């Protein structure tokens, strides 16, 4: 089984639209939307949810008002300023409370509270889903806004997608990865058999590409590069392909700028599902070339 990951140095490069087109071109894959902070593959693939599970991760302190004596020890030891102190009540007790968005879940206040007035429940950070789509099964997730541990959720989505591929004897897991080079991207990349970096011909794009390719190289994952909207700046596109080669990656194609790209998104369809076009041909060529590198039969 091969895990192929599509990533970008930043959001908005067309990564998800490309993933949807690849899914349409290779419907025997298991799909995994690992862009859990801003999942949007479902907008194109319109999944029917078959299984839904809570994602719990980390803990947060909650002060029990009845048990709190107002001694102030928790506020002293909290290094994150997460404890709020109210005005004294009629008995002179200053009620303490935890601001949930400021609590880092370190547990220091829990250990230090002399009245044992602080609960430390596991946090519900989101949900993950196993769904059916017109192009095969999809594992996807929703992170509660402001929640952390998205890297952990990415790992969970990947693991579920791998298990499903094994159960259904599918040879490819296509992963729509998160943008950037942070923890969620590392969680999406490690152990994968191929990565495709989708980028655009801009100075910022070149900088991001450099960082992402360094990451792929660090994890020894064969990297391919696709220049989206290459014709907006052909010289910059050529320069970036040259830089990609120098970094050990393989340019696998260029995709022209075309309004049909966003038109397909608005219709909830992959580009290759819309009427035949040069844009669709560009995307097919990228998929075929990437398959040649990864050893997948297109």
The answer to whether 264 contacts ligand SF4 (rule: CB under 6 A) is no
> Contacting ligand SF4 (CB under 6 A), which of 30, 82, 138, 188?
82
Q: Where are the beta strands (DSSP E) in 24-121?
A: 30-33, 48-59, 62-63, 83-88, 94-98, 118-119
CA atoms of 31 and 160, how far apart (whole Å): 10
Q: Is 62 in the site for ligand SF4 (CB under 6 A)?
A: no
Based on CB atoms, which residue is closest to ligand SF4, 98 or 252? 98
- Helix, strand, coil distribution of the chain in percent, nearest 5: 40, 30, 35
- According to the binding rule CB under 6 A, does residue 185 interact with ligand SF4? no
Q: Which of 2, 56, 62, 108 binds ligand SF4 (CB under 6 A)?
A: 108
- Bridge partners of 146, per DSSP, are none
C-beta of 89: minimal distance to ligand SF4 in Å?
Answer: 13
Cα gap 24→29, rounded to integer Å: 10
Q: Which stretch binds ligand SF4 (CB under 6 A): 61-69, 180-188, 246-254, 267-275?
A: 61-69
Q: Does the protein bind ligand SF4 through residue 61 (CB under 6 A)? A: yes
Q: Does 63 bind ligand SF4 (CB under 6 A)?
A: yes
- Six token digits for residue 55: 């994602």
Answer yes or no whether residue 248 interacts with ligand SF4 by CB under 6 A.
Answer: no
Quick one: which of 58, 59, 29 has its CA closest to 45? 29
- Least distance (Å) between residue 144 CB and ligand SF4: 17
Do strands 223-228 and 250-255 pair parallel, antiparallel, or not at all (unpaired)?
A: parallel
Binding site for ligand SF4 (CB under 6 A): 61, 63, 68-74, 77-78, 80, 82-83, 96, 98, 103-109, 113, 115, 117-118
């Amino acid at each position: 089984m091969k895990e192929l990951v599509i990533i970008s140095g930043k959001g908005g490069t067309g990564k998800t639209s490309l993933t949807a087109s690849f899914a349409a071109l290779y419907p025997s894959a298991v799909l995994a939307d690992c862009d859990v902070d801003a999942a949007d593959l479902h907008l194109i693939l319109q999944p029917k949810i078959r299984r839904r599970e809570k994602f719990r991760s980390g803990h947060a302190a909650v002060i029990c008002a009845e048990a709190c004596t107002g001694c102030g020890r928790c506020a002293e030891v909290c290094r994150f300023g997460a404890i709020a102190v109210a005005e004294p009540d009629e008995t002179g007790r200053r009620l303490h409370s935890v601001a949930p968005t400021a609590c880092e879940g370190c547990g220091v206040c829990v250990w230090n509270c002399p009245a044992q007035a602080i609960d430390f429940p596991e946090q519900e950070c989101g949900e993950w889903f196993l769904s059916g789509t017109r192009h095969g099964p999809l594992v996807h997730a929703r992170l509660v806004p402001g929640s952390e541990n998205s890297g952990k959720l990415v790992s969970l989505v990947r693991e579920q997608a791998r298990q499903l591929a094994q159960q259904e004897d599918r040879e490819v897991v296509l992963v729509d990865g998160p943008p950037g080079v942070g923890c969620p991207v590392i969680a999406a990349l490690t152990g994968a058999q191929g990565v495709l970096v989708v980028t655009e011909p801009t100075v910022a794009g070149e900088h991001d590409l450099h960082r992402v390719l360094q990451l792929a190289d660090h994890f020894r994952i064969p990297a391919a590069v696709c220049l989206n909207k290459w014709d907006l700046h052909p010289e910059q596109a050529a320069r970036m392909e040259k830089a990609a080669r120098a970094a050990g990656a393989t340019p696998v194609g260029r995709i022209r700028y075309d309004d049909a790209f966003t038109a397909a998104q608005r219709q909830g369809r992959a580009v290759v599902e819309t009427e035949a076009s040069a844009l669709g041909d560009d995307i097919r060529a990228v998929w075929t070339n990437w398959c040649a590198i990864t050893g997948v039969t297109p």
